[in-house]
Chains A and B, each alone.
Chain A
Amino acid sequence: MNSKPLRVLIAKPGLDGHDRGAKVIVRALRDAGFEVIYTGIRQTPDMIAAAALQEDVDAVGLSLLSGAHLTLFPEVVKTLRKKGLKDMLVFGGGIIPDEDAAKLRKAGVDRVFGPGTPLQAIVDYLNEKLRVAA
């Protein structure tokens, strides 16, 4: 009993302001029993990492639609590691080609979700990844 709610930070690095996708994820996770913190748009990797550290989240989800994911996602992972959050689960979403997803995986982004992913798939993924570890 008393399974504490999982905490997830949803963040938008980079310069695009298209955050409907991020908000849909926030809402889906809230309804699935997660405590979700949303940073808002146009965040630097430093801001995202600081928020993840202060909020003590279990995972960080990155959303980006500008095409800068190959630069920014790994930068966020690196900044998180530098802050001592070595095992932080990082996942991402956006308009991201398959070949890039493989590169991101190598850079420490555990999973990339493309357009059309059922929301339940993301919820299941997080529960599986995080509840097993706990």
Chain B
Amino acid sequence: MPRNDDPSDLIKRVRRGDHAAASRALSLVVDEDDASEILAKDFFKSAGRAQKIGVCGPPGAGKSTLTGRLIGHYRKRKLQVGVLAVDPSSSISGGAFLGDRLRIMEHATDPGVFIRSLASRGMIGGLTHTIFGAIHVLEALGCDKIIVETVGTGQDEVEIASVADTVVYVTTPAMGDEIQAMKAGAMEIGDVFVVNKADLAGKDKAVADLRAALGLGHSAGQAPRAWEPPIAATSALSGEGIAELARELDGHWEHLQNSGEGRARLKKQHATELQFWIQRRVVRTALDRVTDTILEEMVAHKSDPASMGRRLLK
């Protein structure tokens, strides 16, 4: 579509709460358009105003349906909600099927809800490189709660911990015993744990396994933590347990505000955002310099990847 993308006009409209402007701004940001830097500079002023809730867990655990339920809960409290739902890009075609929105369509026409599907575009770890920029657009739009739903990669999606304020790890009764819960990775970064599909058999055991695994740290002599991750049992299908989950999320947000932890996390987020920016900029600049002549030189063994890499990075 031909578009009117005047940055200062977009900024004004986003700050007035205009969804169409936010949508265009998001495109410029995730496409890493030249104009996005002007936008980002302004939107960053709102960084930290909303609670960023990261929802992670294995595929099929019910993250999207749970997100839909949380939206409903927050809307009853008149809060503005933004959702960024990340799904994987194909490494073969570059295309993506963004299917999370389908589970939250009931909120499609609510003016207090803004939902955007994002493709991972080559990033592994459950997110996308431009996630911070996208979050800042929603912060500037006036969202109170921003839910970031990761690709369901399961055990290893720890990046979300340096993006979100509150990490919700979603599992189900059918996801394995406590040995699964003892593994390193996503289990270590949860601030709130959810046993979803609590309508299925095995809920109590799943909660107990999770509690046992989380408690092992104490017997290993670790110092008690300022925040002990609670476990909520929910059924996203029936809505059971959603109010309790929301209470735990509020509790964690309060804990962040009232301790030094909130500031520490924000700093870590900014450090990660800076790291993403530098990586993108440096890597892309170097890769843009790769020519066929260079590749020919390597085929002829006149150069090697490391030497060539150094030259390109200069």
Report Cα–Cα, A54/B111, bound state, in Å.
11
User: Is B207 an interface residue, CB under 8 A from the partner?
Assistant: no
Query: How far is it, in angstroms, between the C-alpha of A44 and the C-alpha of B23 when the chains are bound?
Result: 21
Shortest CB distance B49–A (Å):
21
Residues from chain A with Cβ under 8 Å of B92 in the complex = 31
B76 to A: closest C-beta gap in Å = 20
Query: How does the 8 Å CB contact mask read for A4-32 relative to B, with 1 for contact and 0 for none?
Result: 11000000000000000000001101111
Given A37-B117, A39-B102, CB of A54 within 8 Å of CB of B97: no
Check B109–A50 contact: CB distance below 8 A: yes
Residue from A33, A46, A51 in contact with B94 in the complex, judged by beta carbons closer than 8 Å: A33
How many contacts A-B (CB < 8 Å)? Answer: 94
Residue A1, interface by CB 8 Å: yes
Q: Does A67 contact B (CB under 8 A)?
A: no
Q: Given A30-B93, A50-B108, does the pair A84, B20 have CB atoms closer than 8 Å?
A: yes
- Given A37-B117, A47-B105, check contact A55 B23 (CB 8 Å): yes
List residues of chain A with CB within 8 A of the CB of B203: none
Q: Are B93 and A36 in contact (CB under 8 A)?
A: no
Which size bracket describes the interface of A in this complex?
35 or more
Contacts of A29-73 to chain B: CB distance below 8 A: 29-40, 43-44, 46-47, 50-51, 53-56, 58
Given A1-B288, A53-B23, A54-B114; A27-B108 close (CB under 8 Å): no
CB distance from A84 to the nearest CB of B (A): 6
Question: Is B204 part of the contact surface with A, judged by Cβ < 8 Å?
Answer: no
Check A56 against B109 for contact (C-beta < 8 Å).
no
**Beta-carbon nearest neighbor of A34 in chain B:** B95
Set B23, B31, B109: member contacting A47, Cβ < 8 A:
B109
* A83 interfacial by beta-carbon distance below 8 Å: yes
Is the CB–CB distance between A31 and B90 below 8 Å?
yes
User: Does A121 count as interface, using CB distance less than 8 angstroms?
Assistant: no
Across the interface, do B20 and A38 meet the contact criterion of CB distance under 8 Å?
A: no
Task: Judge whether B119 is part of the interface by a CB distance below 8 angstroms.
Answer: yes
CB distance from B179 to the nearest CB of A (A): 36
- For A104, the chain B residues whose CB sits under 8 A away are none
Chain B contacts to A: CB under 8 angstroms:
1-2, 19-20, 23-24, 26-27, 31-32, 89-90, 92-99, 101-102, 105, 108-109, 114-117, 119, 121, 288
Can you give 9 contacting A-B residue pairs, CB < 8 Å? Answer: A5-B119, A29-B95, A31-B93, A33-B93, A35-B95, A36-B97, A38-B101, A54-B23, A87-B2
6 tightest Cβ-Cβ pairs between the two chains A and B: A40-B102, A30-B95, A47-B108, A56-B23, A33-B95, A56-B27
